[in-house]
Amino acid sequence: MPSPEFQRNLLVELPHLRRFARALSGDAALADDLVQDCVERALKKQHLYDATRPLRAWLYAILRNIHISHWRQNAPWGHLKNIDDLEGFEGSVPAEQEHNLSLALITDALNHLPPQHREVLVLISLEEVSYREAAEIIGVPIGTIMSRLSRARSTLQRILEEGGTTVLRVVK
Amino acid sequence: MFDTIENWALHAFVDGELEGDEKKAIEALLARDERARKAVAAFAHQKQELHRAYSAILDEPVPAGILAAAKGNGRPRLTWALSLVAGLALLGVGSVLGLNIAQHFDQVQQASLANRALVAYQTFAPEVRHPVEVAASDEDHLKAWLSKRIGTEIKIPDLQDAGYTLLGGRLLAEADHPAGQLMYEDANKKRLTIYLTQNTGAKEQSLALADSPGLVTCYWRDGALAMAISADMPHDAMMSLAKNIYDQMDDKS
């Protein structure tokens, strides 16, 4: 049985897990499936959790592993689905939907990043984990984290600048 | 733009990874270098955009399914439930989830009927020289022989109206009981097979379709026979052909 304290702490982390999963996968339904799988696995593997370490980082690592195996199984369809989701968003979007547009734009931009760059960017720029934590979650040296982060940001910058012109054209 | 050390140091600065002298060095760089300032501003802007796109979720209520899972009483989702049913069916395990064991067993039998027909099709339909054991020229013998070995009277349907000519048939070895395969071919040399075996459980099963890549199989159990038609054709064409065959097999004349 999971300890009450572990469960309480787990509940606190759920919103952050959902945000991480959403940005990692770009798909709201898939993201919540990932979170649910992650939570179930965390409860099952509770004895492996080192209580001196941050719970959130441990959960991110579990969720990331589930996402990778899911992604390997479903990559072609996942990609098609993302394209479908975005279809038509470049058409006529009212200015008041700017938030949604920003979400679509950033999701589209993230979809263009290699998965190894995307996860580093999401962990550091959105979830704001330290470089060391990111290295532990992903299981690579800090130097690798920094070079992936740098490349992810360069690519994202280019896409956002190109997309920025699209936004201006669309909301005009 | 910057040498390597400064480039990663700018990221580290934005991400709050620098302290003391390292941090001061970057602050000094930013004071004198506009490109460095622009780069830092761009990285910070990306962070803002990511938060604007995704952070609203932090204030959303957590879906009930996730909450239940976190409280340790998550229910299996549909996909798991289905694979559980399939797993139990394969094991022949008893009445769980309100379905009885006979139902599970029937599902397995049905699946294996379509599957055995598929395997037989894949084995013999591509054969150029030896698609059949007994040729259509010996149709009467084929009918008598397969009837005897399968253990029940079979008919050889005439599919000329659908554009398929009988090539002949063969006996198939199966674990429980011999089966037969009839093979037909259309003008474009596309083949169709009929798999026939004894309906040992004497259960009725209406027409059902099973898809596999490049092949559709329609199968049923009626009276003493279990049958499966396999061909590469659209579902509606297969259903009408299967009904045609069903009627011919059912014809008591």
Quick: pLDDT tens for B158-215.
Answer: 999 999 999 999 999 887 789 999 999 999 999 999 999 998 776 777 888 888 778 8
Task: Please name the amino acid found at residue B89.
Answer: A
How far A44 CA sits from the closest chain B CA (Å)?
9
Name residue, tokens 């509770």.
Answer: A46
**Is the Cβ–Cβ distance between B224 and B198 less than 8 Å?**
yes
CB contact under 8 A, A146 and B11: yes
Q: How far is CA B238 from the centre of its chain?
A: 19
In 3D space, the residue among B65, B75, B68, B72 whose CA is nearest the CA of residue A3 turns out to be: B72
CB contact under 8 A, A40 and B74: yes
Confidence label for B251 from pLDDT (cuts 50, 70 and 90): confident
Mutate to test the interface with B, among A120, A125, A129, A156 (most CBs of B within 10 A): A125
Q: How far is CA A9 from the centre of its chain?
A: 21
Question: Does residue A103 register a pLDDT over 70?
Answer: yes
Residue from the list A36, A125, A131 with its beta carbon closest to the beta carbon of B66: A36
Using a CB–CB cutoff of 8 Å, tell me whether B1 touches chain A: no
Q: DSSP assignment of chain B, as one string?
A: ---HHHHHHHHHHHTT---HHHHHHHHHHHHH-HHHHHHHHHHHHHHHHHHHHHGGGGGSPPPHHHHHHHTT-PPPPHHHHHHHHHHHHHHT---BTTB-HHHHHHHHHHHHHHHHHHHHHHHHTT-SS-S-SEEGGGHHHHHHHHHHHHTS-------GGGT-EEEEEEEE--SSS-EEEEEEE-TT--EEEEEEEE-TT---EEEEEEEETTEEEEEEEETTEEEEEEESS-HHHHHHHHHHHHHHHH---
CB contact under 8 A, A1 and B72: yes
- Give B211's Cβ-side CA count (13 Å radius): 6
- Maximal CA-CA distance, chain B: 101
In 3D space, the residue among B235, B247, B237, B133 whose CA is nearest the CA of residue B179 turns out to be: B133
Distance CA B43, CA A154 (A): 9
Using a CB–CB cutoff of 8 Å, tell me whether A12 touches chain B: no
Compute the count of residue pairs across chains A and B with CB atoms less than 8 Å apart: 101
- Taking all residues of chain B, what is their mean pLDDT, rounded to a whole number? 83
Handedness of CA B141, B146, B152, B157 (dihedral sign): negative
How far A149 CA sits from the closest chain B CA (Å)?
8
In 3D space, the residue among A117, A113, A107, A114 whose CA is nearest the CA of residue A138 turns out to be: A117
Q: B-chain residues within 8 Å CB-CB of A103?
A: 53-54
pLDDT at B114: 84
How far B59 CA sits from the closest chain A CA (Å)?
8
Residue B180 sits at φ, ψ, to 5 deg, of -125, 155
**Is the Cβ–Cβ distance between A102 and A89 less than 8 Å?**
no
Using a CB–CB cutoff of 8 Å, tell me whether A2 touches chain B: yes
Q: B-chain residues within 8 Å CB-CB of A11?
A: 67, 70-71
Edge-to-edge order in the sheet of strand B225-231 = B134-135, B165-172, B179-185, B191-198, B225-231, B215-222, B205-212
Distance CA B190, CA B187 (A): 7
**Stronger pLDDT, A161 or B194, i.e. the higher one:** B194
**Is the Cβ–Cβ distance between B220 and B208 less than 8 Å?**
yes
Question: Does residue B225 register a pLDDT over 70?
Answer: yes
Ramachandran area for residue B16 (φ above 0: left; ψ -120 to 50: alpha; else beta): left
Residue A65 sits at φ, ψ, to 5 deg, of -60, -40
Q: Which residues contact A49 (CB under 8 A, 6 or more apart)?
A: A6, A42, A55, A58
Tokens standing for B22?
């390292």
Indicate the range of A110-124, B95-109, B168-182, B220-234 predicted with least confidence.
B95-109
How far A39 CA sits from the closest chain B CA (Å)?
6
- Percentage, residues of chain B above pLDDT 70: 81
ipTM greater than cut 0.85: no
How far B130 CA sits from the closest chain A CA (Å)?
39
Name residue, tokens 């049905």.
Answer: B110
**Stronger pLDDT, B140 or A107, i.e. the higher one:** B140
Quick: pLDDT tens for B46-95.
Answer: 999 999 999 999 988 899 889 989 988 754 444 444 444 454 444 444 34
Prediction pTM value: 0.53
